[in-house]
Amino acid sequence: MNDVDVVVVGAGIAGLSAARALTAAGKTVTVLEARDRVAGRTFGGFLSNGVPVELGGQWVGPTQDAVLELIDELGLETFPTYAEGDGVMAYGGDVVRYDDPTYGLPSSSVAEVARLWMMIEELASTINITAPWETENADELDRSTLDQWLTSNTADPTALQFFRLQVPALFSAEAAELSLLHFLFYIKSGTSLQVLVDVEGGAQERRVVGGTHQLSERMAAELGERVRLETVVHTITQDDSGVVAAYEGGEVSAGYAVIALPPTLAGRLHYSPPLPASRDSLTQQMPAGSVIKFHIAYAEPFWRHEGLSGAAFSLDDAFNVVFDNSPPDASCGILVGFLEGIHARRAASLDADERRELVLSALVKYFGPKAANPFDLVQQDWNAEEFTRGCYGGRLGAGAWTSYGPALAAPVGRLHWAGAETSEVWNGYMDGAVRSGRRAAHEILTQLD
């Protein structure tokens, strides 16, 4: 007799969504989590004044129906991301304000960005998101990197730089590190490039009051003692009768397992029997992105008084993507910004003070001298987190989708894979995580019934 019907490894949104669906269907479940907290790549922190901040994934938007439904079910509420006023864009040594979709770029580059953008949206519309490797021209699209496509399709250095900025903002990785097929898949998975980058009507439209980590906390509260923290699973064994998940000091036996870890961590567990070559090779080739997230807190959102939205982008600086992240009551002013891709990697070797200096000097450039003296500055380096090892998520470089695509979500015997990276809809987002957990639960319920 097994201890439970299903053991779930990982108590992020995906794993907990799977456990919740299984429990609702009357199955017994144990969730094993390495950390002393649930919520994975969502994570709640606090400023020195007690205001909560979100150190991980935070935005939700329209068409993310699975996560929006979950927010509602769990009794949480959302509020709109602040986006009134002008944005600022730094490039060519200048900082310019803009109040339209031009990002303040010179008109020739605006036209070129629009042309490339349209080409991208059209190409993305051709992708088979259920089986990207079966897309027409998949081999050709997968052999090219996104950077290769960009450099082949524009001679405008500003337009090129603009996309080389937007790509890390979405992937925490550089355009050369993504296959064109993966980029296009990801776009279509999240509806369109426009939807991915937009605040209003897009993926950054709303936030959860109190923080998105509450999704996991409330699911875990429902699950009660089914969730065990500080339990670092190291070995997964399966045979005809079931699965055993072993951790230091114990093990859980079950009929099935849901592995709800980022792919690079799922690939590090010891499996007996060993996983097939295709699955192992896939996880070798799905590295996580590189990002350090910063919250910079001021007594008030002073930029709003100057007609600024708090959004800043830069083609010149390392700290190049910034948004207003103040609490709904604007009781203080918070900017959120990111070092992403190559900039996060370079900053990994800086100490906290050096990073702070780098961040504040950029903010002074974007928002003036008031930005120099926050009352708090919080840093979160996701690549240094042992039980995440990179955000926002795993990506596929040139060749990987067409070599290993089917191994991404296909069960291996009694092992089922969940996690935002395994979702065909809103891949890489919290919504995708919810969907992936439900899908893994459904796969197992089909077997159990």
CA 29, CA 437: separation in Å to the nearest integer? 13
Both tokens of 429, joined, read: 């987002």
Strand 308-314 relative to strand 321-324: parallel, antiparallel, unpaired?
antiparallel
Query: In the bound complex, what is the minimum distance in angstroms from residue 6's beta carbon to a second copy?
Result: 25
Both tokens of 44, joined, read: 């709640």
The residue (of 212 and 402) whose beta carbon lies closer to a second copy is: 402
Q: How buried is 439 (Cβ within 10 angstroms: 0-12 exposed, 13-18 middle, 19+ buried)?
A: buried
CA 31, CA 252: separation in Å to the nearest integer? 10
CA 428, CA 56: separation in Å to the nearest integer? 13
The footprint of a second copy (CB under 8 A) covers 142-145, 147-148, 173-174, 176-177, 179, 232, 234, 264, 267-268, 270, 274, 276-278, 280-281, 284-285, 287-288, 290, 342, 345, 348-349, 381, 383-384, 386, 389-390, 397-399, 402-404
The residue (of 210 and 399) whose beta carbon lies closer to a second copy is: 399
Both tokens of 149, joined, read: 């496509």
Is the separation of the CB atoms in 341 and 168 below 8 Å?
yes
The residue (of 176 and 364) whose beta carbon lies closer to a second copy is: 176
Both tokens of 208, joined, read: 């959860």
The residue (of 280 and 316) whose beta carbon lies closer to a second copy is: 280
The residue (of 176 and 197) whose beta carbon lies closer to a second copy is: 176
Is the separation of the CB atoms in 111 and 103 below 8 Å?
no
Is the separation of the CB atoms in 45 and 378 below 8 Å?
yes
Query: In the bound complex, what is the minimum distance in angstroms from residue 164's beta carbon to a second copy?
Result: 9
The residue (of 309 and 422) whose beta carbon lies closer to a second copy is: 422
Is the separation of the CB atoms in 439 and 19 below 8 Å?
no
Query: In the bound complex, what is the minimum distance in angstroms from residue 181's beta carbon to a second copy?
Result: 11
CA dihedral 130, 178, 287, 69 (to 10 degrees): -40
The residue (of 368 and 399) whose beta carbon lies closer to a second copy is: 399
Query: In the bound complex, what is the minimum distance in angstroms from residue 62's beta carbon to a second copy?
Result: 33
The residue (of 109 and 179) whose beta carbon lies closer to a second copy is: 179
Residue by residue, DSSP assigns 326-339 as --TT-SSEEEEEEE
Query: In the bound complex, what is the minimum distance in angstroms from residue 399's beta carbon to a second copy?
Result: 5
Using DSSP's 3-state secondary structure scheme, residue 390 falls into coil
Q: What are phi and psi of 11, to 5 degrees?
A: -110, 45
Is the separation of the CB atoms in 275 and 408 below 8 Å?
no
Best CA proximity match to 180, nearest among 13, 397, 391? 397
Is the separation of the CB atoms in 79 and 206 below 8 Å?
yes
Query: In the bound complex, what is the minimum distance in angstroms from residue 173's beta carbon to a second copy?
Result: 8
Residue by residue, DSSP assigns 358-373 as HHHHHHHHHH-GGGG-
The residue (of 129 and 407) whose beta carbon lies closer to a second copy is: 407
Q: How buried is 274 (Cβ within 10 angstroms: 0-12 exposed, 13-18 middle, 19+ buried)?
A: exposed
Query: In the bound complex, what is the minimum distance in angstroms from residue 339's beta carbon to a second copy?
Result: 12
Number of C-beta neighbours around residue 331 at 10 A? 14
Query: In the bound complex, what is the minimum distance in angstroms from residue 341's beta carbon to a second copy?
Result: 8
The residue (of 3 and 280) whose beta carbon lies closer to a second copy is: 280
The residue (of 304 and 389) whose beta carbon lies closer to a second copy is: 389
Query: In the bound complex, what is the minimum distance in angstroms from residue 232's beta carbon to a second copy?
Result: 8
Query: In the bound complex, what is the minimum distance in angstroms from residue 385's beta carbon to a second copy?
Result: 8
Query: In the bound complex, what is the minimum distance in angstroms from residue 344's beta carbon to a second copy?
Result: 8
Q: How buried is 122 (Cβ within 10 angstroms: 0-12 exposed, 13-18 middle, 19+ buried)?
A: exposed
